Amino acid sequence: MSLMVVDDEEAFKDLLVRRFDQVEFDVAGFSSGEEALKAARTGRFDVGVFDIKMPGISGVELLRGIKALQPGMEIIMLTGQPTVDTAIEAMKLGAYDYMAKPCKLVELEIIIRKAYEKKNLTEQNTRLREELKRRSAQCRLIGSSGVMANLGEQLTRLAPLNDPALIVGEMGSGKEVTAMTLHRMSQRREAPFVTLNCGVLSEGMLETELFGHEADAFVGAGHTMKRGLLEIADGGTALLDEVEQLSPSMQVKILHYLDTGEFRRIGGLSDIVVDTRLVFATTDNPVTGPKRGKLREDFYYKISTFTINIPPLRDRKEDVPELCEHILSGDKAGKKLSKKALEALMEYNWPGNVRELTNVIERAVTLAPKNVIQMKDLPLSFEKRSKTSKNRHLLSLPEIEREHIQYVLEAVNGNISRASKILGISRPKLYRKMEKYRSGPGA
């Protein structure tokens, strides 16, 4: 810690410098506000301890000048003649704390350390906010097609609202990016955006993550209170993905929050009021899709008043070149796609949507030896597809099915669960087809 001590009483100033040198602070002592301001113009300090009553520049004037030079510096004011007016003025100007002389040096050291901790936390929060803004700017909806223009218009209309929204789209189509865009377009943009996947946590863990818990609320809860995502995102937006996986009891608790704006932590006795907008996402419509019946009617009608449908990539292939350009913009080597490679990417139906396209491009960037990505740098299935596309009518149905299953499995890196969902068949059936085609499509 770099500590600045300013006091016109030489004996007291030297005492503070000696005392805090012993605790490994980097201490600089000054006898006047003029000397301190000069030092602040060339050096960087974390915390300052200023006497209020000094000839020339007073401690309050010094506080004002230091804050103009180093806004993040935390200042502790000392005075031998404490008054309410000077204390209020110092705190209004941004002083961290105010102590009366004579003070106990142990207490002063504690306050200095707390001021330093606050400064570090403020800087960390600033860095995190800047990083989130940078990532948010990169993570955006890409495409100039008509369907994407319609999606943009819909988000513009929904962004100012506080109502819940339901995003429906296939895996990899960009549901989280859409929710983030909705948040960024709203007045909540400066507040947190958080996500929670309802399909990967048990009901108990899901409730803990969303609502938080009081200290010792249950076995394993620990002796400290935990804030849930609803509290953390107060004033912002929370995305609940795979909403169809919510249990009926969780649906009731979330519905209560949507109706009242209130909830209780696990083990809590009082209601907590927050202003967090909830956005939900699912891979298919819970009413008309294969997972229908998993949501309570009252809960579904509450969250689906504003439904946002994300178009699959196969319905907006004209956006593929723009998407490819966006993905490649992150490559430091500046690699580009050849005309044939881009044509092959535009002919493909992309069952894994934008996520699959991203994986294919990133793989090609890694494997391509030159700055132009050729057909040979794409997965083998694309080269085969290009060579056989003109003779597709000569293939038998089992051969076409075998080839498509291979495409999907490659796109999801062999994930059987995701592949079965994309193909619209059960996992056992997919395993049977994979075993069958190991012996040849006609087996």
pLDDT recorded at residue 101:
83
| Residue % of the chain over a pLDDT of 70 | 90
Judged against a pLDDT cut of 60, whether residue 124 lies above it is answered with yes
More confident residue, 112 or 409: 112
DSSP 3-state of 59: helix
Distance CA 160, CA 277 (A): 11
pLDDT recorded at residue 383:
61
pLDDT recorded at residue 93:
81
Task: For 302-371, give the DSSP string.
Answer: HH-SSEEEPPPGGG-GGGHHHHHHHHHTT-TT--EE-HHHHHHHHHS--TTHHHHHHHHHHHHHHH-SSS
More confident residue, 252 or 91: 252
Judged against a pLDDT cut of 70, whether residue 45 lies above it is answered with yes
For 253-284, the three-class secondary structure string (H helix, E strand, C coil) is: HHHHHHHHCEECCECCCCCEECCCEEEEEECC
pLDDT recorded at residue 443:
40
pLDDT recorded at residue 391:
46
pLDDT band at 441 (very low <50, low <70, confident <90, very high): very low
- In the chain, residues under CATH classification 1.10.8.60 are 316-438
Give the residue among 263, 243, 242, 262 at the shortest CA–CA distance from 251: 243
| CATH of region 316-438, choose from 1.10.8.60, 1.20.120.1810, 1.10.3720.10, 3.40.47.10 | 1.10.8.60
Judged against a pLDDT cut of 70, whether residue 442 lies above it is answered with no
pLDDT recorded at residue 30:
94
Other CB atoms within a 10 A radius of the CB of residue 14 amount to 14
| Inter-helix orientation angle 339-347/380-388, to 10° | 80
Give the residue among 52, 6, 56, 8 at the shortest CA–CA distance from 28: 6
Distance CA 220, CA 217 (A): 9
pLDDT recorded at residue 200:
87
The answer to whether 386 and 401 have CB atoms below 8 angstroms apart is no
Judged against a pLDDT cut of 60, whether residue 143 lies above it is answered with yes
pLDDT band at 392 (very low <50, low <70, confident <90, very high): very low
Instruction: Say which range, 124-138, 235-249, 324-338, has the weakest mean pLDDT.
Output: 124-138
What's the pLDDT tens digit per position in 427-437?
888 888 888 87
Instruction: Say which range, 48-62, 99-113, 286-300, has the weakest mean pLDDT.
Output: 286-300
What's the pLDDT tens digit per position in 258-294?
999 999 999 988 999 999 999 999 987 666 655 556 7
Distance CA 248, CA 266 (A): 17
Sort strands 272-273 and 262-263 into parallel, antiparallel or unpaired.
antiparallel
Predicted model pTM: 0.64
- Its CATH architecture, for the domain 144-311, is 3-Layer(aba) Sandwich (3.40)
Judged against a pLDDT cut of 80, whether residue 162 lies above it is answered with yes
| Residue with token string 């002796």 | 223
Tell me which fold the domain 2-124 belongs to.
Rossmann fold (3.40.50)
- In the chain, residues under CATH classification 3.40.50.300 are 144-311
Mean pLDDT score of the chain, rounded to an integer? 86
- In the chain, residues under CATH classification 3.40.50.2300 are 2-124
What's the pLDDT tens digit per position in 191-245?
889 999 998 888 889 999 999 999 888 877 777 788 999 999 999 999 999 999 9
What is the arithmetic mean of pLDDT over 396-409? 80
pLDDT recorded at residue 135:
63
pLDDT recorded at residue 21:
87
What is the arithmetic mean of pLDDT over 6-12? 91
What's the pLDDT tens digit per position in 50-80?
998 889 998 889 999 999 999 999 999 988 7
Sign for the CA dihedral angle at 137, 139, 143, 146 comes to negative
